[in-house]
């Protein structure tokens, strides 16, 4: 009997999470008091229910609890709990802290992992190999770097493969990729970070249509252009949630019929507040608001 393959949303916040270090904004203050308001950085889990093999897409600063949730039989409602899960690998989108800093937990001071496959682009591999402390993970064999190329499919298991897609995103330390996850029944796009959808050749529309995406998890870091107060938002370009919804709308107008889920919310983004209000905001615009713990059968 073929068991199911599931994708789990293990985090929906921007790299710094909520509450963010040193922040006294009402949203972060509330999250210090009420654990239900905590939001972990964006992270996707993949589980092959037949073999128990599981993968993390991005290693965030919340790696310990996200790994625990990935491997725990208690997460999700319809996962085959009979098969124990094991970490079969980690895929990394790029070298910003919310997406790879969690690798530190695999090293000698913590897990002392053995040869965990870490799937990365060539530029990400060069970064991890050249710089401490990441270099030590490679040298001690805690991780085993597996280099992928954009546009070339990556086989994770018999029933799961991933297509890396290069995305335009400020490349201080590495280039950036989105992933199209091919499950036995559906295709899921994981795109937590992108500067602008318009910078993609053919826009988001072409990406969703060409890859026949069923479920798209999309960068919607900010809600309002003035959200960062005194900081210049041009230094951290990301789509506004409304821009993401407009890009999704253009895809729908061109015949795309999938589900669009917004993720990677900055601590300043009001979509993190009242779930009902956020849902209503999304419903009006044809998008869903990513919620931690959500899962998609793929
Ligand atoms: Zn990010
Ligand atoms: Zn805050
Ligand atoms: Zn980034």
Please report which ligand is nearest the Cα atom of 30: 2
How do residues 93-138 score in pLDDT, each as one tens digit? 999 999 999 999 999 999 999 999 999 999 999 999 999 999 999 9
pLDDT of residue 74: 58
pLDDT of residue 90: 98
242 in any annotated domain: yes
Question: What six digits make up the tokens of 53?
Answer: 């093999």
Protein residues near ligand 1, an ion, with CB under 5 A: 15, 98, 193
Reported confidence tier of residue 78, pLDDT bands at 50, 70, 90: very low
What is the Å distance from ligand 2's center to 22 Cα? Answer: 8
| Per-residue pLDDT at 80 exceeds 90 | no
The residue with greater pLDDT, 171 or 233, is 171
Count structural domains, the chain. Answer: 1
| Per-residue pLDDT at 237 exceeds 90 | no
Please report which ligand is nearest the Cα atom of 190: 1
Please report which ligand is nearest the Cα atom of 61: 1
66 in any annotated domain: yes
pLDDT of residue 227: 83
Please report which ligand is nearest the Cα atom of 38: 2
90 in any annotated domain: yes
Q: Tell me the average pLDDT of the chain.
A: 93
169 in any annotated domain: yes
pLDDT of residue 172: 87
Domain CATH code at residue 127: 3.60.15.10
Q: Which residues pair with 143 in a beta bridge?
A: 116
> Please, what's the b/e burial string for 269-298 (b: 16 or more CB within 10 A of its CB; e: otherwise)?
bbbbeeeeebeebbeeeebbbbebebbbbb
What is the Å distance from ligand 3's center to 229 Cα? Answer: 20
194 in any annotated domain: yes
- In this structure, are residues 290 and 297 in contact, taking their beta carbons and an 8 Å threshold? no
298 in any annotated domain: no
The residue with greater pLDDT, 147 or 50, is 147
What is the Å distance from ligand 1's center to 98 Cα? Answer: 5
149 in any annotated domain: yes
Segments forming the whole domain that contains residue 89: 5-293
125-139, 164-178, 218-232: segment of lowest average pLDDT? 218-232
pLDDT of residue 228: 76
49 in any annotated domain: yes
pLDDT, average across residues 13-30: 96
What is the Å distance from ligand 3's center to 49 Cα? Answer: 31
202: left (phi over 0), alpha (psi -120 to 50) or beta: left
How do residues 248-291 score in pLDDT, each as one tens digit? 999 999 999 999 999 999 999 999 999 999 999 999 999 999 99
What is the Å distance from ligand 3's center to 97 Cα? Answer: 8
Please report which ligand is nearest the Cα atom of 265: 1
2-11, 34-43, 132-141: segment of lowest average pLDDT? 2-11
Q: 289 φ, ψ to 5°?
A: -95, 120
What is the Å distance from ligand 3's center to 245 Cα? Answer: 20
pLDDT, average across residues 15-33: 96
Q: Tell me how far apart the alpha carbons of residues 83 and 261 are, in angstroms, rounded to a whole number.
A: 29
pLDDT of residue 82: 65
pLDDT of residue 81: 56
Percent of all residues in the chain with a pLDDT value above 90, rounded to a whole number: 87
What is the Å distance from ligand 2's center to 5 Cα? Answer: 35
């Amino acid at each position: 009997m073929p068991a199911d393959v599931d994708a789990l949303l293990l985090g929906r916040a921007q790299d710094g999470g909520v509450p963010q270090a040193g922040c006294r904004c009402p949203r972060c203050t509330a999250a210090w008091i009420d654990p239900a308001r905590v939001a972990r950085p964006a992270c996707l889990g993949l589980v092959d229910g037949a073999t128990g093999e599981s993968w993390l897409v991005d290693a965030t600063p919340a790696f310990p609890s996200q790994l625990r949730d990935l491997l725990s039989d208690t997460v999700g409602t319809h996962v085959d709990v009979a098969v124990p899960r094991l970490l079969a690998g980690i895929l990394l989108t790029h070298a910003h802290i919310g997406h790879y800093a969690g690798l530190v937990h695999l090293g000698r001071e913590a897990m002392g992992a053995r040869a965990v496959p870490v799937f990365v682009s060539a530029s990400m591999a060069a970064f991890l190999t050249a710089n401490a402390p990441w270099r030590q993970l490679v040298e001690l064999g805690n991780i085993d770097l597996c280099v992928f190329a954009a546009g070339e499919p990556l086989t994770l298991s018999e029933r799961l493969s991933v297509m890396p897609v290069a995305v335009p995103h400020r490349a201080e330390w590495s280039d950036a990729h989105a992933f199209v996850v091919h499950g036995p029944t559906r295709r899921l796009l994981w795109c937590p970070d992108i500067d602008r959808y318009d910078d993609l050749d053919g826009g988001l529309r072409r990406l969703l249509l060409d890859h026949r995406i069923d479920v798209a998890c999309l960068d919607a870091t900010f809600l309002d252009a003035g959200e960062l107060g005194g900081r210049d938002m041009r230094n951290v370009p990301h789509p506004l949630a409304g821009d993401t919804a407009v890009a999704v709308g253009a895809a729908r107008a061109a015949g795309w019929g999938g589900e669009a889920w917004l993720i990677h919310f900055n601590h300043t983004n009001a979509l993190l507040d009242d779930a009902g209000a956020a849902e209503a905001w999304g419903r009006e615009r044809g998008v869903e608001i990513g919620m931690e713990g959500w899962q998609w059968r793929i």
